[in-house]
Amino acid sequence: MKIAAVTRDGKIAHTIAESTEILIVTEENGLPTAKELVQIGDDEITSVLFKLAMQNIDVLLAGEIGTALQSTLRMLGVEMLPGCEGDAVENIAAYMTHEQIGDPSKIIVPEEDENDPLNCLHDCAKCMSGCHDRPVNPAGQ
């Protein structure tokens, strides 16, 4: 099984858009067998999703996850565990030992937007319409 965490400076990133790398731990029989750090830098969300798909990720630990992104990850066969925070290695280790981590309520349901004619919630991974240049408000303010 491959367990991934979207991170920034070794900590779980608040959102995937704020992450700078993906920490991937391969687990077999309850033990870690490999660890890899995939740099994503300033990649757009579609590129990040592509990298996750190419790595055959089974589980993704993250901060907040939007509903459109949740649907996309589900289509890729990736189980999501939102609401994680703190050190990425510690979170992955806790997941592997079946400790309770994360918070399922961190799935963000955005409000409807009259400026979103494609009803994609401005998630270019969903509609690919190129509206990704809209400002992101990570704090939900």
Average pLDDT over residues 79-97: 92
Instruction: Count the residues in the chain.
Output: 141
In a domain, 134, yes or no: no
In a domain, 58, yes or no: yes
Tally Cβ neighbours within 10 Å of residue 72: 20
Average pLDDT over residues 118-132: 54
Q: Look at residue 130 in the predicted model and tell me its pLDDT.
A: 53
Average pLDDT over residues 74-95: 91
Q: Is 13 exposed, middle or buried (0-12, 13-18, 19+ CB in 10 A)?
A: buried
What CATH number corresponds to the domain at position 108? 3.30.420.130
In a domain, 71, yes or no: yes
pLDDT category, 137, cuts 50, 70, 90? very low
The residue whose two tokens read 């399922």 is 104
8 A C-beta contact, residue 67 and residue 82: no
Q: Tell me: the pLDDT tens digits for 19-72?
A: 889 999 999 988 999 999 988 877 777 788 888 888 889 999 999 887 778 888
In a domain, 6, yes or no: yes
The alpha carbon torsion through 87, 91, 92, 95 (nearest 10 deg) reads 180
> What φ, ψ does residue 63 adopt, rounded to 5°?
-80, -105
87 bridge partner residues: 11
In a domain, 132, yes or no: no
Q: How many domains does the chain have?
A: 1
pLDDT category, 126, cuts 50, 70, 90? low
For residue 104, the 8-state DSSP code is G
Tally Cβ neighbours within 10 Å of residue 49: 19
Instruction: Tell me: pLDDT of 117 over 80.
Output: no
Can you give the residue range of the structural domain that contains 92? Answer: 2-127
Residue 53: both structure tokens together: 């798909």
Helices 67-75 and 45-54: angle between axes, nearest 10 degrees: 30
Q: Name the average pLDDT for the chain.
A: 79
In a domain, 136, yes or no: no
Task: Enter the pTM of the model.
Answer: 0.71
Q: Look at residue 129 in the predicted model and tell me its pLDDT.
A: 52
